[in-house]
């Protein structure tokens, strides 16, 4: 199989494209604010407010939402849709082509699909001197620290740990499934505020943020953006869909006088190339 065919197939497998083509109806969780279809379930939810029970229900599989990566898919190894996978491919390949120094990292990996894809891209290009860093609590999102980060007030991502907390062992297994777990993959386990300031990373060529919250985004920017090489890429997965994430990015840009144009990938994702 040619490299192009492998990469094309891999990205579709990682987002579960083949399943949507079969028109299956997997159990998926509803998005926040979306009402369940059954009145009884709705009433139970009101009683068990915020319990894990609230988000598991069989609802019709929405092909468009999966393709655009705006759902929490039941089976896919990445929540990202096809356009954001294409964007990862573009950024990684562009930095390799232009000899931009530094490793690759995603802060917030869930089942690992995006970092698995990064490792595959390095392998296909024969790059052996770059590491893919896999940073996550592996126990879901933190409770909001609203005293410090007002934008996170009321954020309830942490409640959904039954869906969002994927163990490091599971992510390692997912890498193994694709034959991509090796010494070029390193794990940073813990809350970003604890792991990122002291992470043994010298330089980065691709910095992908997918931690949803203001705190998770600003922690990653504070610790890692200074390590991003000129010519490297910052990718923000939730820029268009999580206001706290966007605010963290805008605050950081203002504080550090960053003027590079923000390019939208799709309704959610955005990125820019670091020029200075
Ligand atoms: C939306 S998911 C990431 C999706 C993933 N990038 C993909 O391709 O499917 C968010 C992830 O960020 C992690 N996370 C968010 N905030 C964090 C923090 N402050 N410290 C550590 N992990 C965090 C969660 O555990 C979760 O795995």
Q: Write the DSSP string, 213-227.
A: SHHHHHHHHHHHGGG
**CB of residue 108 inside a 6 A radius of ligand 1:** yes
103-107 and 28-29 beta bridge pairing: unpaired
Q: What is the pLDDT of residue 21?
A: 60
185-189 and 28-29 beta bridge pairing: unpaired
Residue whose CA lies nearest to ligand 1 atom number 15: 211
Which residues touch 2 (CB under 8 Å, ≥6 apart)? none
Select from 1.10.10.10, 3.40.50.1000, 3.40.50.300, 3.40.50.150 the CATH code of 82-273.
3.40.50.150
Q: At what angle do helices 113-125 and 168-177 cross, to 10 degrees?
A: 40
**CB of residue 15 inside a 6 A radius of ligand 1:** no
Q: What is the pLDDT of residue 75?
A: 85
Residue pLDDT, tens place only, 37-86: 566 666 666 666 554 444 455 556 677 888 889 888 888 999 999 999 99
Q: What is the pLDDT of residue 24?
A: 47
**CB of residue 164 inside a 6 A radius of ligand 1:** yes
More confident residue, 51 or 15: 15
Residue whose CA lies nearest to ligand 1 atom number 24: 140
- Distance in Å, CA 191 to ligand 1 centroid: 10
CA distance 104 to 140: 21
CA distance 27 to 56: 7
Ligand 1 atom at shortest distance from the alpha carbon of 136: 22
The distance from CA 9 to its chain's CA centroid, rounded to whole angstroms, is 20
- Distance in Å, CA 84 to ligand 1 centroid: 16
- Distance in Å, CA 140 to ligand 1 centroid: 6
CA distance 207 to 240: 18
Please choose, from the candidates 64, 77, 61, 63, the residue with its C-alpha nearest in 3D space to the C-alpha of residue 27: 61
Coil vs helix vs strand at 171 = helix
The structural domains of the chain, with segments of one domain joined by +, span: 82-273
Over the chain, what is the mean pLDDT?
90
Q: For residues 28-53, b (16+ Cβ closer than 10 Å) or e, as one string?
A: bbbeeeeebeeeeeeeebeeeeeeee
Residue pLDDT, tens place only, 204-228: 999 999 999 999 999 999 999 999 9
**CB of residue 114 inside a 6 A radius of ligand 1:** yes
Please choose, from the candidates 264, 262, 259, the residue with its C-alpha nearest in 3D space to the C-alpha of residue 276: 259
What confidence tier does 100 reach under pLDDT thresholds 50, 70, 90? Answer: very high
Residue 262 and residue 270 in contact, taking contact as beta carbons nearer than 8 Å: yes
Residue pLDDT, tens place only, 177-204: 999 999 999 999 999 999 999 999 999 9
Which residues touch 37 (CB under 8 Å, ≥6 apart)? 57, 59
Residue pLDDT, tens place only, 117-142: 999 999 999 999 999 999 999 999 99
Ligand 1 atom at shortest distance from the alpha carbon of 78: 9
Containing 208, the helix (H) or strand (E) segment is strand 204-209
**CB of residue 90 inside a 6 A radius of ligand 1:** no
């Amino acid at each position: 199989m040619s490299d192009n065919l492998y990469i094309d197939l891999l990205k579709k497998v990682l987002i579960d494209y083949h399943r949507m083509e079969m028109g299956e109806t997997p159990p998926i969780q509803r998005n926040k604010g979306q009402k369940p279809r059954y009145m009884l379930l709705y009433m139970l939810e009101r009683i068990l407010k915020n319990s894990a029970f609230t988000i598991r229900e069989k609802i019709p599989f929405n092909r468009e939402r999966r393709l655009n990566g705006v759902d929490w898919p039941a089976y896919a190894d990445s929540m990202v849709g096809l356009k954001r996978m294409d964007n990862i491919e573009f950024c990684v390949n562009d930095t390799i082509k232009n000899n931009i120094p530094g490793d690759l990292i995603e802060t917030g990996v869930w089942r690992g699909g995006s970092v698995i894809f990064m490792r595959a891209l390095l392998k296909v290009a024969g790059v052996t001197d770059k590491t893919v860093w896999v940073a996550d609590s592996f126990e879901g999102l933190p409770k909001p620290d609203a005293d410090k980060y007002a934008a996170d007030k009321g954020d309830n991502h942490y409640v959904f740990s039954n869906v969002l907390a994927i163990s490091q062992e599971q992510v390692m297994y997912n890498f193994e499934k694709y034959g991509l777990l090796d010494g070029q993959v390193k794990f940073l386990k813990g809350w970003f505020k604890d792991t990122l300031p002291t992470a043994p990373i010298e330089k980065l060529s691709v910095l992908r943020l997918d931690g949803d919250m203001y705190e998770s985004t600003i922690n990653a920017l504070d610790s890692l953006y200074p390590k991003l090489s000129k010519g490297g890429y910052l990718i923000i997965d939730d820029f268009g869909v999580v206001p706290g994430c966007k605010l963290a990015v805008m605050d950081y840009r203002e504080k550090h006088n960053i003027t590079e144009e923000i390019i939208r990938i799709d309704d959610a994702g955005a990125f820019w190339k670091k020029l200075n």
